[in-house]
Structure 1
Amino acid sequence: MTDTLNQDIANRRAAILAALTAAHAPPPELIAVSKFQPDEAIEAALAAGQRVFGENRVQEAQQHWQARRETYADLTLHLIGPLQTNKAADAVRLFDVIQTLDREKLADALAAAMEKEGRRPKMLIQVNTGEEDQKAGVFPSKVGALLRYARESANLEVDGLMCIPPVDEPAGPHFALLKKIAKDYGLPVLSMGMSGDYELAARYGATHVRVGTAFFGERNTG
């Protein structure tokens, strides 16, 4: 079973990397989304050479990665899920990139945590491109104000933007909007695209894509 899993994940990873290379030069960086994945799947991804991973929840990420940090010094970990302010210190301690900055209160909490922990993860602002009330992220019209606050008041290193388009709308216009906002503010990093649209995101200029199911396969929950 382990050999089969290792080969399956290695094959899927190779196919994704090839598709990204064909879609855009240079290709975006592949973030393997390891949320909900069992240890054997994570070990298979590591065996295939994957070193960049994304997690949605701080506590689960700690279970997956705290011990592995000692074994794999070249890991890069991205937080891609919403972050509560009371988890800011844990996030700063573990992650290299936090993609979900979306409010001033969180910027303040992260700044305080960075001073305490002596680590400075890079930051992306999550943009709610569909202006969905139930979804995390700052509305497009508010990006500039949050960016200024994060940089000038909280002294955070904000490198780019992240978005999750509405599930019931074509992703392309949302990718185009995120790219335009990033260009307006001189931000080089664009995290956009998931399992169903990572090739499209690459064609729109994504620098990072977040791929879970297409990388690890469907989970057997039965």
Structure 2
Amino acid sequence: MARFSETTRVTAHEIISRYPVAKSAVIPLCHLAQEQDGWLSEEAMTHIAELVDCTPAEVLGTASFYEMLKLEPVGRYLVNVCTQLPCMLLGADELLAHAEETLGVLPGQTTPDGLFTLEGVECVAACTEAPCLQLNYRYFHRVSPGDLDQLVSELRATGRTTVPTKSNDTNDIPHHGTLARVRQHIPAEGRAGNAPPDVNIEPPWLADPAAPASGATTSGGS
């Protein structure tokens, strides 16, 4: 899929309507494109640029800054093994090596069946629960090689896992691209609405320090 589908386009316009300036919707639209296709293609970035009236280069410049936005196809399940010091001290080296052996790929590669992409990542902010693993950005703490084998086996068979996760109570692991279990909904009264009117008042920090403040009296005043 190159551009937004009809259904996704409706959602895209709803997202854009939340912002006073359409270009502010670039990041959520990138997530929307990735939710549709699993990654962010050049065609999708071009479509986003058309929707928010900017250039594809501006969309690419934004998307390329964020690790969670993928500019190349990845597997249905993205396996991120934390490689920072606390996790390494508690076995992340061995866990990553075991993942390479179990999946038959190196970090940055995808299994031939297209199911799993393996990555070594920087800190996932759960150092007290090392070694940590993220599966489509759902957290798994204190992961053993046996836990990893169970995850891979169960996901291949059913798309679900019984391995405890800290971020998904149902044990369903949505396909890569779906970062939230429930799409964010903002009630009408909470949306940004129209841009605020311009106010032509000089900011106080630019005012002449020698000038008296508004309402102040001069030395000869009463």
TM-score by length of 1: 0.28
More helix per residue: 1
Q: Which has the higher contact order (CA 8 A, sep 6+)?
A: 1
Q: Of the two, which has the highest radius of gyration? A: 2
Give the TM-score normalised by structure 2: 0.28
